[in-house]
Amino acid sequence: MYPGSFQYSAPSSLAEARGLLATLGPDAKVLAGGHSLIPMMKLRLAEPAHLIDLGRIPELSYVREAGGGLAIGAMTTYHQLETSPLVRDRYPALADAASQVADIQVRNKGTIGGSLAHADPGADLPSVMLALEATLTSTGPGGQRTSDADGFFQGPFTTGLEPDEILSEIGLPALPANTGGAYKKFANKASHFAIVGVTAIVTLAGNTCRRVRIGVTGAGANASRARAAEAALEGREATDDNVDRAAAQAGEGIDFLGDIHASEEFRAHLVQVFARRALQEAVARAR
Q: What would the mean pLDDT of 89-105 be, rounded to a whole number?
A: 97
pLDDT of residue 103: 93
> Percentage of the chain surpassing pLDDT 70?
100
Per residue in 121-174, pLDDT tens?
999 999 999 999 999 999 999 999 999 999 999 999 999 999 999 999 999 999
pTM for the full model? Answer: 0.97
| Domains defined for the chain, CATH in brackets | 7-53 (3.30.43.10), 58-172 (3.30.465.10), 179-286 (3.30.390.50)
Per residue in 224-239, pLDDT tens?
999 999 999 999 999 9
Three-state SS for 126-187 is HHHHHHCCCEEEEEECCEEEEEEHHHHEEECCEECCCCCCEEEEEEECCCCCCEEEEEEEEE
* Confidence class for position 1, pLDDT limits 50, 70, 90: confident
CA distance 74 to 49: 23
Per residue in 186-242, pLDDT tens?
999 999 999 999 999 999 999 999 999 999 999 999 999 999 999 999 999 999 999
The whole-angstrom distance between residue 171's C-alpha and the CA centroid of its chain comes to 12
Three-state SS for 266-281 is HHHHHHHHHHHHHHHH
Per residue in 19-69, pLDDT tens?
999 999 999 999 999 999 999 999 999 999 999 999 999 999 999 999 999
pLDDT of residue 48: 96
